[in-house]
Chain A
């Protein structure tokens, strides 16, 4: 089977992606930052940095620390805010032939609602990805994503605002059973799920005793988390997404084409790549270029035929 006959196209709800590779939120800026390195139109999708209603400066530095096979980040959702995003960033992204998924964060339900309403009305937004790993200010800072009832209320409220774009919910792994928030999100009307966000982690300098991050705790990402991502995507696939035909975008430690295959087999329809972009900004095009060869080796002509195909006997 020649590589050019391989079909990489996938659909995440209404979003048609030419291949299953996307940039993850917070790891590709607003798109233009990676543009010097390759043509963004080569990607299956671009997921933007989280947007909040008002601009946010983010946490004081140090915001990032390298750990074994990964990194911890506590950026604090630094972003230009909705207004500047719509005026300055979205038009730049719209010049490329790639679906744009805008990640949305907030500290109150009302903030999410306002941002989602504005984004759904804007041109050039294929998907809205709700970041629920944010502290819910109205509930003492507990993450929306860790409380299924709060998550359901949030997704329900946002669902009412979003009719043009696809509605994705990005799940947090910092829960006892990720199937619970997954079910809550789908019940409340999510078109698709993306998981996993970063794992809560921390680093302390053994000699000074100081936390490495100014925020003390941060999110762990990179190769170290891939097994968690594979497990959680599989769990969600078996419990919720598979039976209810809800597409999943898998994230967590993807570096090589084989990792893409692994996440697909776990149950992802597409993947998003985060930390690897920091090490090699060209990672995503290498994945897109490497997938046909990997599928030829497997003898599978359409990448979407791999979704959920874990052999269990």
Chain B
């Protein structure tokens, strides 16, 4: 019986700004770090949603009226060296969006997990935060994955750190008693954002036990794919998915879910068309505010009601999770 945390009918929390303590930080090797943040007990979010995180010093004063939305200095008299770059140290202005991975309810609140890829100044700052420090967060934001129709099996396809929300989705589907399989792809074995302890990969040239990279327990059968064949199936995650559908899911109605680099989503959408399967994907766009105000994160989506047949939709508000069939690929 689904409770509030898992009930698909339960509405997600409205977006708000809040300080979330960093409860755990796990270096996953390579460029990935897994963070666990603490949230209030009434937080309800769903896989596919994201948070927009300030990557800069936490506000200095809690009292309203002293709060500073932006902090460029760390001590020093007026005039401030606001924005001055010293030895290339730069504190980002714009928040960084992070997809939510798993959600867990504890006695004193929730635990949300995010996977951070250290791509630049902001994410490196984030990945280096001390456990116990507070992060300034906007969330939960955006649209989320929804469970498949009762007769369909969920096939989740993740590339790189796109796997993170799908791990959360696998958790949710398991809690709902739904069957799912998760395919995780990367260029090489050491670029896989998570691997499982002691579970051999299914499919592929040879079964290879994975090194322990993260202790996550994905509550779905997992198939690894690497483009160079260094672990699991030799090829892309989508190719592995296609082979899985042909060999092991032949004839079964499926629903596809994708999260990862754009080329992966595009070929997953094509696979969905060929198999006539519904497909939800999580889009990634450079974001400004994350709350539907700045109108920066637009994607062209089909819109039969518009003259041109398309309209711009906001990835932060009308996404990130969208029906792949609506995406206008360019």
Binding site for B on A (CB under 8 A): 26-29, 33-34, 36-37, 49, 57-58, 60-66, 68-71, 73, 75, 78, 222-224, 255-257, 275-283, 285-286, 289-290, 292-293
Contacts and interface: CB of A to CB of B under 8 A. Distances in A.
A66 B92 contact: yes
A63 B298 contact: yes
B16 A66 contact: no
B94 A37 contact: no
B69 A29 contact: no
B289 A278 contact: yes
Contacts of B65: 257, 286, 289-290, 292-293
- Of A49, A280, A283, A293, chain B has the most CB atoms within 10 Å of the CB of A280
Given A64-B294, A73-B296, A78 B289 contact: no
A68 B138 CA distance: 22
B200 interface: no
Given A63-B296, A277-B293, 16 more contacts: A27-B293, A33-B292, A57-B308, A61-B286, A64-B296, A66-B93, A68-B90, A70-B83, A223-B82, A279-B69, A280-B69, A285-B64, A286-B64, A286-B68, A290-B67, A293-B66
29 contacts: A26-B294, A29-B292, A29-B293, A33-B292, A34-B293, A57-B311, A62-B296, A63-B296, A63-B298, A69-B83, A70-B83, A71-B93, A73-B288, A75-B294, A223-B70, A223-B72, A255-B68, A255-B70, A257-B65, A275-B93, A276-B70, A280-B17, A280-B70, A281-B289, A283-B69, A285-B64, A290-B64, A292-B65, A293-B66
A276 B286 CA distance: 18
B312 A78 contact: yes
Contact of A278 (B72, B90, B288): B288
A113 to B, nearest CB: 24
Interface residues on B, range: 35 or more
Given A277-B289, A286-B67, A290-B66, A58 B295 contact: yes
A37 B16 contact: yes
A258 B185 CA distance: 51
Nearest to B69: A280
B94 A75 contact: no
B74 interface: no
A277 B72 CA distance: 16
Interface string B52-83: 00100000000011111110100000000011
What 3 pairs across the A-B complex have the smallest Cβ distances? A69-B83, A280-B69, A64-B296
